[in-house]
Amino acid sequence: LAAVRAAGLAGALSGEGPFTVFAPTDAAFEKLPQGTLQSLLKPENKDRLKAILTYHVVSGRVGSDALLTTSSAKTINGARLPIGLTVQNARVVQADITASNGLIHVIDAVLMPPSEVSAARSGAKKIHDSTTDQYRRDEYQTWQQREARTGFRRAKNRIEQSIAKGSEAYNKGDAASCAAIYMQTARTLIASEPLTNNLRMGLENALTTARHAKNESERAWTMRRALETVYESL
C-alpha cells in the first residue's frame, strides 16, 4: 500500500475497473536486492515505481482458466505481460481472489516491465559507484537468473505435455501424429527456449534424421529420444 500511495496510484486502482491484479507476496518483495524497495519509494523514483506497479495490473478480468490459453496481456503500464504456465518469471500461488473491482492473482515474484529491464541492462553494462546503478545491476542479474530458471521449467513442461500427447497418439496406433507432435515441440524449443547450443544442435540433428526415417514409428522414436535427452539435461 505504501508503494501504491508513493506512486500516486491509489485513486486509479480503486476505480470501477474491472482490473486483474498480479499481487506479489511479501516474500517476493524480500527477494529483491537489499535496499531496492526503499530506493523505489523515494520521491525521485516515483515514475520508476509507477511503471513497475502498473505492470502488475491488466484492464479487464483475466481468470485462471484464461492464463493457460493467453500468451500475453496488455497492462495499464502500456507494455504487454507474458502469460502462460508462469506470469513473466513468477508462479501464481493463489488464483481468482475476487475483489470489488476485479480479480487478484497472488504471485511469488515481482514483475519487471521492459523499460525497467532495459534500464537495468544499461546499468549493468556501466561501472558506477552510485547506489541506484548498483541496485539496477543487481536487479538485472537477479532477473536473468529467474528468467533462465523459468525458461528451463517452461521447456520441461513443454516436453512433458508433448510426450503425454504423443504417447497417447502412438498407443492408439497413430505414429504419424505422435511424430508430428514431437517434431513441432522440438521446433518450438529451438526457437523460443533458452537451450544450450549443444541441446539445440541435438534437436536440429534429430529433426533431420526424423525427416529421413523409414517409417512413422522410427520417426516418432527418434524425436522421443531427443526430447528425453533435453529433458534430462535441464
Question: What pLDDT, in 10s, does the model give residues 76-134?
Answer: 888 888 887 788 888 898 899 888 888 888 889 888 887 765 544 444 444 344 555 55
Pairing of strands 102-107, 19-24: parallel
* Grid coordinates belonging to 85: 504456465
- Mean pLDDT in order along the chain per 10 residues (234 residues): 50 73 85 83 85 89 85 88 84 88 88 68 46 57 59 84 92 94 93 81 95 94 93 84
* Grid coordinates belonging to 60: 479487464
Look at residues 106, 114, 118, 130 and name the one whose alpha carbon lies nearest to residue 29: 106
Q: Mind listing the domains of the chain with CATH numbers?
A: 2-110 (2.30.180.10), 150-233 (no CATH)
- 72 contact partners, CB below 8 Å, separation of at least 6: 80, 81, 82, 83
The position carrying cell 549443444 is: 198
Q: Specify the amino acid at residue 42.
A: K
Predicted local distance difference test score (pLDDT) of residue 127: 39
Predicted local distance difference test score (pLDDT) of residue 144: 55
DSSP three-state, residue 98: strand
| Cα torsion through 61, 65, 68, 74, rounded to 10 | 0
Residue 171 dihedral angles phi and psi, to the nearest 5°: -65, -20
Q: Are 111 and 52 in contact (CB under 8 A)?
A: yes
Predicted local distance difference test score (pLDDT) of residue 208: 95
Strands (E), 2-91: 19-24, 57-59, 72-74, 80-82
Cα separation, 121 vs 123, whole angstroms: 5
Question: What is the Cα gyration radius of the chain?
Answer: 21
22 strand-pairing partners: 105
92 strand-pairing partners: 107
pTM above 0.95, yes or no: no
Q: Are 88 and 156 in contact (CB under 8 A)?
A: no
User: In this structure, is the dihedral angle defined by the CA atoms of residues 107, 113, 117 and 123, taken in order, positive or negative?
Assistant: negative
Q: Are 181 and 166 in contact (CB under 8 A)?
A: yes
Distances from the Cα of 29 to the Cα of 7, 111, 231, angstroms: 16, 10, 31
The position carrying cell 497417447 is: 168
Which helix (H) or strand (E) segment holds residue 163: the answer is helix 131-171
| CA 164 to chain centroid | 23
